[in-house]
Amino acid sequence: MTMINVANISKVDLNLLVVFQCLMNERSVTRTAAMLNVTQGAVSSSLKRLRAQLRDDLFVRSGAGMVPTRRALELAPRITEALGTVSAILSGQSQFAAETTHRIFKIALSDDIEACLSPMLINESRARHLSVSFAFHQTNSVLWKNALSDPDIDLVICGEPKGCGSHHSSKVLFSSSYSCLYDGARLNIKSPITRDEYLSHDHVRISYDGRRGFVDDLLEAEGIARKVSASFTHFSGAIASLVYCDAIATIPSFAASAYARIARLTVSPPPITVPSFRVFMVWNVSKNEDVQNAWLRNFIFETTRELQYGQTHADAVALADVGNNASPPSGKKKRL
């Protein structure tokens, strides 16, 4: 039987954990206050008490909102689980037993995110000896609402979802920028790629409509036309072309790392200034209190923790010499 320090718990206002959970989800004092129907001052006061009790800043104000500290990210899954248990008890719902329940969770996401996250979720489930499984469906930051309109879809994962409304809940999973991906041996280019090498070779473009991307805009602003040999609406086709053709792709860093492992390609920091963006988890508000959906959200958030710590780009750079023995150097998602 687990021993609980009742005296220790009695000293804590458990409502503070609710404030913590809302701040973690919303990353905003204003939105947290609105969600809890209290003043912003009350939220700030609760955060001050939390900081004192947990001896950490927990959330740091920035241009992107209230950014959680490493300590807050470590605590988040445990607090989510604890609040989920309390909520289930009060609502009369039973806890979700992922170790014994053969539940198939249906997740809609784009294929670049799928290449990175699906192995992580599968491996983590196996490591925990869970009985759940996953079905991955295709969507993107433009079409994600269509996916969520299907009642069988549990949630969506996409970059900077467009048009989130009051009937949607969302949570930032991690941030990313972009990397170059190419066959270093085929092109005889090591990492890091130079600007001259980048501009002199053909490129493949990946975008929702197969037309323009931010790289075209950046180069044309300098009077340079990018040499695009092909455009794709999905990453998988573009990756196949990198294996068999002389071309370079500029794609999200987490995807570059994943595809480099799969196809033994070379990853390099881009020789141009590129934007950053955030990857979100989005679900219908109606599923906020659903025990199984809450478990899935917590599982995904906890499993992607290393990406929240910004490890993706470091991993991508570490893989930059895959296939060519090169020595690597020690905003918003847009079309490529």
CA 273 – CA 27 distance, rounded (Å): 27
Residue 80 is predicted with a pLDDT of 79
pLDDT digits (tens, 9 = 90+) for 29-72: 998 998 888 999 999 999 999 999 899 999 999 887 899 999 99
- The answer to the question of residue 72 being in a domain is yes
Report the domain count for the chain. 1
Residue 312 is predicted with a pLDDT of 41
Residue 64 is predicted with a pLDDT of 77
- The answer to the question of residue 12 being in a domain is yes
Residue 1 is predicted with a pLDDT of 40
Residue 274 is predicted with a pLDDT of 93
Contact 264, 248 (CB under 8 A): no
Angle of CA points 197, 328, 203, to nearest 5°: 30
- The answer to the question of residue 61 being in a domain is yes
Residue % of the chain over a pLDDT of 90 = 59
The answer to whether the peptide bond before residue 328 is cis (omega within 30 degrees of 0) is no
Residue 91 is predicted with a pLDDT of 63
- The residue written with tokens 């129907």 in the block is 37
Which residues, 6+ apart, have CB-to-CB distance to 300 below 8 Å?
107, 117, 121, 155, 157, 173, 281
Cβ neighbours, 10 Å, residue 324: 19
Over residues 290-296, the mean pLDDT reads 92
Over residues 262-268, the mean pLDDT reads 95
pLDDT band at 164 (very low <50, low <70, confident <90, very high): confident
Angle of CA points 304, 309, 313, to nearest 5°: 90
Q: What is the CATH number of the domain that holds 61?
A: 1.10.10.10
Residue 90 is predicted with a pLDDT of 67
Residue 336 is predicted with a pLDDT of 59
Residue 322 pLDDT exceeds 60: no
pLDDT digits (tens, 9 = 90+) for 189-220: 999 999 999 999 999 999 887 788 889 889 99
Higher pLDDT, 74 or 224: 224
- The answer to the question of residue 277 being in a domain is no
Over residues 143-152, the mean pLDDT reads 93
Residue 170 pLDDT exceeds 70: yes
- The answer to the question of residue 116 being in a domain is no
Reading the block at residue 144, the tokens are 């994600």
- The answer to the question of residue 19 being in a domain is yes
Give the structural domain span for 16. Answer: 1-95
Higher pLDDT, 185 or 164: 185
- The answer to the question of residue 274 being in a domain is no
pLDDT band at 116 (very low <50, low <70, confident <90, very high): very high
pLDDT band at 237 (very low <50, low <70, confident <90, very high): confident
- The answer to the question of residue 142 being in a domain is no
Q: Of the ranges 62-76, 88-102, 137-151, which one carries the lowest mean pLDDT score? A: 88-102
